[in-house]
Amino acid sequence: MSSAKRFILVHGAMHGAWCWQKVIPFLERLGHSVLAVDLPGRQGKGKPGWGLTLQHYVDDLANTVDHEQGKVVLVGHSLAGMSIAAVAEKMPHKVERLIFLTAWVSMTGSNMVQL
């Protein structure tokens, strides 16, 4: 299928890649390839804790995207909206599209606390 996309699904706060378990088969049936990632501090990926910052998530996700062969579609839920937007800004040549699913989106110059 020439219109097949590579989706990277990014969970929000207090979730893990497991939250996408019902979405993945749906996208795969449509011919897409899908990767649901665990961000740092989740599901054995590093130590959980309050020391993690948005930058940790962005760097980890950017590393994942960088290892992909072509462009990807990033899907972010909740807090992941901030991460996918930052990755797209950091590496626009690797991101075809962003999908925000009930996600945090920051206006320039604001932070999540101000939203």
Read off φ and ψ for residue 4, nearest 5 degrees. -65, 140
Q: Kindly name the residue from 78, 83, 106, 110 that is annotated as catalytic.
A: 78
Scan for tokens 């989106």, then name that residue. Answer: 105
- 42 beta partners: 45
**2 a catalytic residue:** no
Q: CA–CA distance from 80 to each of 1, 36, 40, 69 (Å)?
A: 29, 12, 12, 22
> Known catalytic residues?
78
